[in-house]
């Protein structure tokens, strides 16, 4: 059992099933200095969120991304909007309450959502480039990962122009 848990934890797919992994995404969260704030990096991480910059955080299990106010209760906000969220359905805010089967479920959900998000990014990139007439070239460029290709191209064009 411990071995499987370790595997989930180190899978590199960052499913964020544990509180400490979610909390580790927050860097100097704005409301942490506010003594009266109910919305802090800790309450956000506890409620299932990871930081996406500024005052925003996202749930890796349902991909709801929200901009929070200092007086928000992150768990209440998550419950309001997370009808289709495995983390909300489990209602286990403490890691110690998670069973191995919960961990696997959340991990799968996180992996599926991460994949889904990745595909959405690719689709967005494609849509931005779709004004170009050559669709198949655009598709293969985006799927290959554009950075490497552009470096070799610019090197080649530099050689041509002395
Ligand atoms: Zn969620």
Confirm whether 124 is domain-assigned.
no
Read off the pLDDT band of 157 (50, 70, 90).
very low
The answer on 153 and 94 residing in a single domain is: no
**What's the pLDDT at 124?**
86
The answer on 86 and 44 residing in a single domain is: yes
**What's the pLDDT at 140?**
77
Report CA(83)–ligand 1 centroid distance (Å). 8
The answer on 75 and 155 residing in a single domain is: no
The pLDDT > 90 percentage for the chain reads 57
CATH (domain of 88): 1.10.1170.10
The answer on 104 and 53 residing in a single domain is: yes
* Section 81-103 average pLDDT: 94
* Section 38-61 average pLDDT: 96
The answer on 61 and 20 residing in a single domain is: yes
The answer on 114 and 160 residing in a single domain is: no
Task: Report the C-alpha gap between 59 and 82 in whole angstroms.
Answer: 9
- Does the reported pTM lie above 0.75? no
The answer on 152 and 92 residing in a single domain is: no
The answer on 157 and 80 residing in a single domain is: no
**What's the pLDDT at 62?**
94
**What's the pLDDT at 79?**
97
Report CA(88)–ligand 1 centroid distance (Å). 6
The answer on 58 and 12 residing in a single domain is: yes
**What's the pLDDT at 141?**
78
Report CA(59)–ligand 1 centroid distance (Å). 5
Pick from 118, 44, 27, 68: nearest CA to 110: 118
The answer on 106 and 146 residing in a single domain is: no
Residues with CB under 5 A from ligand 1 (ion): 59, 61-62, 82, 85, 87
The answer on 71 and 139 residing in a single domain is: no
Report CA(37)–ligand 1 centroid distance (Å). 22
The answer on 6 and 35 residing in a single domain is: yes
Task: Provide the number of structural domains found in the chain.
Answer: 2
Confirm whether 157 is domain-assigned.
yes
Report CA(87)–ligand 1 centroid distance (Å). 6
DSSP string, 75-130: HHHHHHH-TT-HHHHHT--SGGG--HHHHHHHHHHHHHHHHHHHHHHHHHHHHHHT
Report CA(133)–ligand 1 centroid distance (Å). 39
pLDDT in tens, 28-37: 999 999 999 9
Report CA(57)–ligand 1 centroid distance (Å). 11
Range of the domain at 151: 130-162
Report CA(62)–ligand 1 centroid distance (Å). 4
The pLDDT > 70 percentage for the chain reads 77
């Amino acid at each position: 059992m411990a071995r499987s848990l370790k595997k989930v934890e180190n899978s590199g797919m960052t499913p964020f099933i544990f509180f400490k992994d979610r909390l580790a995404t927050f860097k100097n969260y704005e409301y942490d200095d506010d003594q009266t704030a109910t919305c802090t990096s800790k309450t956000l991480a506890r409620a299932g969120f990871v930081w996406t910059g500024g005052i925003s955080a996202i749930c890796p299990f349902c991909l709801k991304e929200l901009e929070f106010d200092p007086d928000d209760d992150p768990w209440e906000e998550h419950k309001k909007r997370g009808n289709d969220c495995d983390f909300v359905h489990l209602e286990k805010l403490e890691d110690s309450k998670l069973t191995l089967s919960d961990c696997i479920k959340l991990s799968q959900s996180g992996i599926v959502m991460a994949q889904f998000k990745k595909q959405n990014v690719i689709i967005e990139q494609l849509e931005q480039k779709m004004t170009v007439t050559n669709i198949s070239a655009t598709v293969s460029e985006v799927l290959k990962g554009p950075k490497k290709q552009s470096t070799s191209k610019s090197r080649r064009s530099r050689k041509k122009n002395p």
